[in-house]
Amino acid sequence: MLRATIEGVTLAVRAQPGAKKTSFTGVYGEGASAQLKIAVKAPPLEGRANQALIVFLAETLGVAKNAVELKAGELSRSKVFLLRGVTLEKVKEVFLQK
């Protein structure tokens, strides 16, 4: 789900587009294949849900939007984001220790 790399932190996300609001809803799966489950208000059309995820992650983690990059899963519910300017500990604190 989370991994520190030379470039930053990679984060596996399971998107649920078309929700009432964009929010973190829990963890999808277990072990190494676990993903953060994020409900997304935007529809999965023309990249709107992907853009909404980028904005949500940036705002939630306190980084600029250009510090969040979609690395894999553009057309899938399962996505991998690269987060720059944030530590692995910060991401864990925000999403996993609530």
CATH code at position 81: 3.30.1200.10
- φ, ψ of residue 49 to 5 degrees: the values are -65, -40
Integer Cα distance of 46 and 32 in angstroms: 30
Determine the 3-state secondary structure of 94 from DSSP: helix
**Residues 44, 69 contacting (CB under 8 angstroms):** no
Q: Give residue 77's domain range.
A: 2-96
**What would the pLDDT profile of 59-92 be if each residue is shown by its tens digit?**
999 999 999 999 999 999 999 999 999 999 999 9
Higher pLDDT among residues 5 and 1, named by residue: 5
- Per-residue pLDDT at 98: 56
Looking up tokens 């989370």, which residue turns up? 2
Domain count, the chain: 1
